Amino acid sequence: MASSDRGQWSSRFGFILAAAGSAIGLGNIWRFPYSAGEGGGGIFVLLYLFFVIAIGIPVQFAELSVGRTTKRNPVGAFKALAPKSLWPIVGGLGVLTGFGILAFYSVIAGWTVGYLYQGISGGLASITTGEQSVDLFTQITTDPLIAIGLTAVFLVLTVLVVRGGVSGGIERIAKVLMPVLFALLVVLAITAMTLPGGMDGVAYLFAPDFSELSLPVVMSALGQALFSLSLGMGAMITYGSYFPDDANLWQSGVLVGICDTVIAILAGLIIFPALFSQGMDPQGGPGLVFVTLPTIFSAMPAGQIVGTAFYFLLAIAALTSTISLLEVVVCYFVDERGWSRTMAAWVLGGVCLVLAVPSALSQGAVPALGANGIFGAWDFLTLNNNIWGNYSLSIGAIMICLFVGWKWGIPKAMEALELGNHPMPATSLWGFLVKFVCPIAVFIVLVFIIVSGQYF
Ligand code: PHE
């Protein structure tokens, strides 16, 4: 497709909201607290913050510069910059990873819809104890029809927006609801921290216990930094490809990174105080956030309304992320294979639903797919979460850095980042991080994990 009819964000603000919409999602509110809980709290958070700055932002700039220059999907972008080479395979891996992530992400996103329904129908209002909350979670996640049905509902919503194209669908939703989500999170964090025992949760989140430091924790913090910023699979190549020529790209990227990180920390400031005040275990796994939150709502005035609003906004935050995941895959089939947008969105959404079924069934519906079933200590959903969300994104991040640093070249990437006359500070530091620090550091972590066999 000619670049002129691809559409673009209506403004820099549109990009920031859409990219923040992609970045902010279940990764911040579901995955961050759950990984932090399993990773020992403060030490995980410290590593995560370090990786966001030292690896996340440099990789993000690398992806955005490639997208802006080529105005293509990840595969097309590598083809354009390195024709007749093997580099487009990296783009292909990104498209595949987008699919892999969407196939488990939409399951969790489906749960948010289930909770939203419970909020509206009053089921949420009757929950006052931790046990009741566990029961509700079990009910939503272990009934195969509910679990698959909710996943399907979510994928259909995603398809409907992606079909509408860039500024028609994605941007309009993100613009209005992201700020509302932020305000609600602040209110919830204050409520949670003032619960009895709440401050113990804050200490757990921020006081690093160095005895908890281990390779799997380093890997999981690295994966989380990439996952949360939507990096390592070309989502930011795709979103950068719609960036207006005169606007400030690097500054917009930094802003997105800051918003994303603030929201993750805010989520932690809700979940851990709530958890500690209930005497629950931080290592609750994928259900952690879903089980913890209803008990805070019951402690609040107008809790049912707040809870319902929360799940509505969480579903929207998840939607702006699933949109970006499907968008990468759709964009590839539209640009490179000549499919119509509508057909690509429906067909790929449908295939994704089929791939999501085992994850949807893994939380109790089919015990063999669960933890201690055929996948050992991991249930199928967690397995996917780790393979696509940690390992595959890490490999993608190494490759994009190698490409920009060594093949395409830092000066050309700089040109794209500064286009529109927006000089960037610390450019040589960025070049150094992209050429050396990011690829080497991520490679070392992966090699150590493989050699040690401590996958988690
Ligand atoms: N960043 C999203 C989130 O935190 C997930 C995502 C990962 C989206 C990779 C796109 C690409 O929820």
- pLDDT the model gives residue 3: 44
pTM above 0.75, yes or no: yes
* Residue of 394, 434, 375, 314 whose CA lies nearest to 97: 394
Q: Distance, CA 27 to ligand 1 centroid (Å)?
A: 6
Residue extents of the structural domains in the chain: 12-452
pLDDT digits (tens, 9 = 90+) for 178-220: 888 899 999 999 999 999 999 999 999 999 999 999 999 999 9
Question: For a pocket test of ligand 1, which of 29, 256, 325 has the largest count of ligand atoms closer than 8 A to its C-beta?
Answer: 325
**d(C-alpha 103, C-alpha 136), whole Å:** 23
Nearest CA to ligand 1 atom 7: 230
**Residues framing ligand 1 (Cβ under 6 A):** 22-23, 25-28, 101, 227-228, 230, 233, 235, 321, 324-325
Q: Could you please state the CATH topology (level 3) that the domain comprising 12-452 is classified under.
A: Hydantoin permease (1.10.4160)
Q: Distance, CA 419 to ligand 1 centroid (Å)?
A: 26
φ, ψ for residue 374, nearest 5 deg: -70, -15
**What's the one-letter identity of residue 360?**
A
The tokens for 115 are 């909770």
Q: Distance, CA 21 to ligand 1 centroid (Å)?
A: 9
**What's the one-letter identity of residue 225?**
A
Residue 178 or residue 153, greater confidence: 153
The tokens for 105 are 């992400």
Nearest CA to ligand 1 atom 4: 27
Confidence tier at 17 by pLDDT (50, 70, 90): confident
On the question of pLDDT at 291 being above 50, the answer is yes
Nearest CA to ligand 1 atom 3: 27
Q: Distance, CA 230 to ligand 1 centroid (Å)?
A: 4
Q: Distance, CA 151 to ligand 1 centroid (Å)?
A: 17
Handedness of CA 246, 328, 388, 358 (dihedral sign): positive
pLDDT digits (tens, 9 = 90+) for 392-441: 999 999 999 999 999 999 999 999 999 999 999 999 999 999 999 999 99
Instruction: Spell 300-336 as b/e; 16+ CB within 10 A means b.
Output: beebbebbbbbbbbbbbbbbbbbbbbbbbbbbbbbbb
